[in-house]
Amino acid sequence: MNDVLVHKGMNRKVKRVLGAVGIYCILLVVCAIFLFPCLWLILSSFSSTGSLYDVPGFFPESYSFDAFIKLFTDTSNYNYPKWLLNTLVIAVFNCIFSTMLIIGTAYVISYFQFKSRRGLMKSALVLSMFPSFMGMTVIYILMTQFNFVNNIWGLVLIYSCTAPLGYLVQKGFFDTIPQSIYEAAKIDGATNARIFTTITLPLAKPIIVYTALTSFAWPWSDFILPKLLLIEKDNWTVAVGLMQLGQNEFARFAAGSVFIAIPIVVLYFFLVKYMVNGMTSGAVKG
């Protein structure tokens, strides 16, 4: 009797191990598929010849740091440091303004009950479904009127103003904060502004960090709007600039691409500790 039980137990353990091995294999394959382009780009950036046609397979023929050095020293034709600075400025200010506007919008829509709230939400949802370049002509004309063409602040303005349309994720987060916490604060004597600053914002830290990260990352990858609005070489963002590199400058292109990942990664590691879940746990119920 006992033997049978022990035998069955062993069997189950083996099954569990086999299952885990299977799952890890699948994960490794998926990982490899995702990492392959990144790895290839990084390797290409260390290629010494630089041309796209000189990479015979996965690995370049010879390695050097030339591409990176040229990126920051050879600024006569392609002023990469300036592009990087432009993009950084746009990203930082977009991060600040967009986060403020999105969080404000989401809080208002989630917390206050007012007339036409539903209509506003529905129209925002429909509007956000149209791609931004649909309004390219209009944006261009508007920006000429404001004298914002060929000016990075024009981009900051457009990014910040259209950002609140994507408030839905943030609203979803605010909806999870129990109403009774707000009610308790009201009864405790707090004004709406005080509730927002001392209750909502501290509780919303994870979603604020998420919003800040996404709005910081967006200008690094956007191409269409900067290409439309920024004409002079010195005003380009990294995305526009890298696109203009010649065919023989592939190593440089790869190096530039690798480099823009750095600020985003740094910011991510700096902020990730605030993105912990379960901030509201312990507030209500037992």
Partner 1 sequence: MANVKLIDVSKVYKGNVRAVTDFNLNIKDGEFIIFVGPSGCGKSTTLRMIAGLEDITSGKIYIGDTLINNVEPRDRDIAMVFQNYALYPHMSVFDNLGYSLKCHHEKKEVIKEKVNNVAKLLNIKELLERKPRELSGGQRQRVALGRCLIRNPKAFLFDEPLSNLDAKLRVQMRSEISKLHKQVQGTFIYVTHDQTEAMTMGDRIVVMRDGYAQQIDTPVNLYEHPVNTFVATFLGSPQMNIFKVKLVEDKLYLDERTYLVVSEKIKNKMIPGYDGEELILGIRPSDFDIATSEDYDFKVSQIDLVEKLGNETLLYLDLPGREENTIVSLKMDMGDDLKGPLYLKVNKDKIHLFNDKEESILKINEFNYIPVSLQLCGEDLIVEKEHKISHFKDKCVSEINEINQGLIRIPSTSFTLSRKNDDDFEVETIIKAKDVRSDANVYFAERKEDKSRITFITSKDEHLKIGQNIKLYAPMSSLGVSDDEGNILMVNDDIIKPIIDVETKRIGKEYYILHQDKAFVKAHKFLLIEKIYDLNSKMLLCVINQKKEKMSLRIERDDDFFNGMLLYTKTVKNKTK
Burial of 254 (0-12, 13-18, 19+ CB in 10 A): buried
**147 interacts with partner 1 by CB under 8 A:** no
Q: For the CB of residue 216, give the shortest distance to partner 1 in the complex, in Å.
A: 24
Angstrom distance (rounded) from CA 265 to CA 174: 27
Judge whether 236 and 86 are in contact, CB under 8 Å.
yes
- Of 9-17, 84-92, 199-207, 249-257: span binding partner 1 (CB under 8 A): 199-207
Q: Which of 27, 202, 265, 274 lies at the binding interface for partner 1 (CB under 8 A)? A: 202
Q: Which of 37, 57, 131, 189 lies at the binding interface for partner 1 (CB under 8 A)? A: 189
Q: Which of 37, 57, 131, 282 lies at the binding interface for partner 1 (CB under 8 A)? A: 282
Judge whether 111 and 182 are in contact, CB under 8 Å.
yes
Q: Residues 12 to 71: which contact partner 1 by CB under 8 A? A: none
**DSSP three-state, residue 63:** strand
Sign (positive/negative) of CA torsion 47, 49, 51, 55?
Answer: negative
Q: Which of 15, 16, 122, 186 lies at the binding interface for partner 1 (CB under 8 A)? A: 186
The tokens for 142 are: 């508007």
- Of 25-33, 47-55, 191-199, 247-255: span binding partner 1 (CB under 8 A): 191-199
Angstrom distance (rounded) from CA 213 to CA 263: 11
**275 interacts with partner 1 by CB under 8 A:** no
Residues lying near partner 1 in the complex (CB under 8 A): 178, 180-181, 183-191, 194, 198-199, 202-203, 278-286
